[in-house]
């Protein structure tokens, strides 16, 4: 613990969409937060409101380079997560997950910190098992355009578990499914942000494929509860544990919901489905419910309303 008795928490990727919400909540929880970010796919505006907080510190740093700081807990959320950003420099994407994790694991080993990896539902690839349980090994293309992200995260998971086996370290791995909410990047190409921005601007909503593909969308506040609950678990709990909302909807249905919420009459336009776009995705969250006592509580309509309000005030 730090001199003042605060819990010192490093959030790698702390200026990102999920990272910045985590910083907010950790500060509210009484922690001292060291936010580390290279601002590759994140923005200063996400954490601007925290800069005056004496328990908040911002460090511009790329985790593919070593970092020497003293901390009690580490959340590794650093990696561009949307295809537009992670495919722009795919080699760097793999490096961020793999070398970045090695550096943070090394830091955890030296300091004795508990370290949590924000892994992803992408480790299941285009799943042949539905809904996805943690013991499913996945159906991932190792050489496709999504591989830098998917395989990078899979290797990061390998590293976490090998550090655990080799050095007996307290590790936590969560697999995050589609998450949405305020502070999504308007240009990151994710379906929720695309649809909301398009609807607010009176444009047609771009539905890829026939819109029958499914996803399960978790509001960011729920996800943060899950991340913090995982960090609080006893040492024996390592995961991997799925975190997401099991209520599954089609992309076409999402488009209708967003249009009716915004009051848009522009309709949809159908575009090509991206390569390796999974047909369906829904987390099995039995483990999260049993081990963490966690499940999402924010209904899609409420979460979308808050997201639309934020984009209306800040971005669109
Ligand atoms: N999608 C869409 N229109 C868009 C953006 C995405 O129809 O403008 C589709 C995309 O093809 C995928 C789903 O929405 O089937 C979710 O895409 P996103 O990139 O948000 O997340 P991921 O594919 O990583 O789950």
- Summarize pLDDT for 121-149 with one digit per residue, the tens: 999 998 899 899 999 999 999 999 999 99
217 Cα to the center of ligand 1, angstroms: 11
Q: What is the DSSP string of 240-256?
A: -EEES---EEEHHHHHH
Catalytic residue chosen out of the listed positions 75, 149, 163, 180: 149
In this predicted structure, the answer to whether residue 278 has a pLDDT above a threshold of 90 is no
Predicted confidence at residue 5, as pLDDT, reads 77
The encoded tokens of residue 116 equal 């949590």
Examine the pLDDT at 1 and tell me if it is beyond 60: no
180 counts as catalytic = no
274 lines ligand 1 (CB under 6 A): yes
Residue 26 CB neighbour total at 10 angstroms: 25
Domains of the chain: 8-180+218-245+280-297 (3.40.50.720)
Beta strands 248-250 and 214-216, pairing class: antiparallel
- Residue of minimum CA distance from atom 16 in ligand 1: 191
Torsion of CA 81, 85, 88, 93, to 10 degrees: -30
CB 71 within 8 A of CB 34: yes
Q: Is the CB of 207 under 6 A from ligand 1?
A: yes
How many angstroms separate the CA atoms of 65 and 69, rounded? 13
pLDDT tens digits along 174-197? 999 999 999 999 999 999 999 999
| Closest CA relative to residue 108, chosen from 231, 258, 239 | 231
Q: What is the pLDDT of residue 316?
A: 57
Task: Find the 247 Cα to ligand 1 centroid distance in Å.
Answer: 16
Looking at every residue in the chain, the average pLDDT score rounds to: 96
Q: Would the pLDDT of 275 be above 90?
A: no
């Amino acid at each position: 613990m730090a001199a003042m008795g605060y819990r010192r928490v490093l959030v790698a990727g702390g200026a990102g969409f999920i990272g910045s919400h985590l910083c907010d909540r950790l500060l509210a929880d009484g922690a001292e937060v060291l936010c580390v970010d290279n601002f590759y796919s994140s923005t200063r505006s996400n954490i601007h409101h925290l800069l005056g907080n004496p328990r908040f510190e911002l460090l511009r740093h790329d985790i593919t380079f070593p970092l020497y700081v003293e901390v009690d807990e580490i959340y590794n959320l650093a990696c561009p997560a949307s295809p537009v950003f992670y495919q722009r420099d795919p080699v760097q994407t793999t490096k961020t997950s793999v070398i970045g994790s090695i550096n943070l694991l090394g830091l955890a080993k030296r300091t004795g910190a508990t370290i949590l990896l924000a892994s992803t539902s992408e480790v299941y690839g285009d799943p042949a098992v539905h809904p996805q349980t943690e013991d499913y090994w996945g159906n991932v293309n190792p050489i496709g355009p999504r591989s830098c992200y998917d395989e990078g995260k899979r290797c990061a998971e390998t590293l976490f578990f090998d550090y655990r086996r080799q050095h007996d370290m307290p590790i936590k791995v969560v697999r995050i499914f589609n998450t949405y909410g305020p502070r999504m990047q308007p240009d990151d190409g994710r379906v929720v942000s695309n649809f909301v921005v398009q609807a607010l601007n009176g444009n047609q909503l771009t539905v890829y494929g026939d819109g029958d593909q499914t996803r399960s969308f978790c509001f960011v506040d729920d996800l943060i509860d899950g991340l913090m609950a995982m960090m609080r678990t006893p040492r024996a709990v390592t995961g991997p544990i799925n975190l997401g909302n099991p209520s599954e909807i089609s992309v076409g249905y999402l488009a209708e919901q967003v249009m009716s919420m915004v009051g848009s009459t522009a309709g949809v336009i159908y575009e090509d489905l991206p390569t390796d776009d999974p047909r369906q995705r829904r987390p099995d969250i039995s483990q999260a419910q049993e081990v963490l006592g966690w499940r999402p509580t924010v209904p899609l309509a409420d979460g979308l309303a808050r997201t639309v309000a934020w984009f209306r005030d800040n971005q669109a």
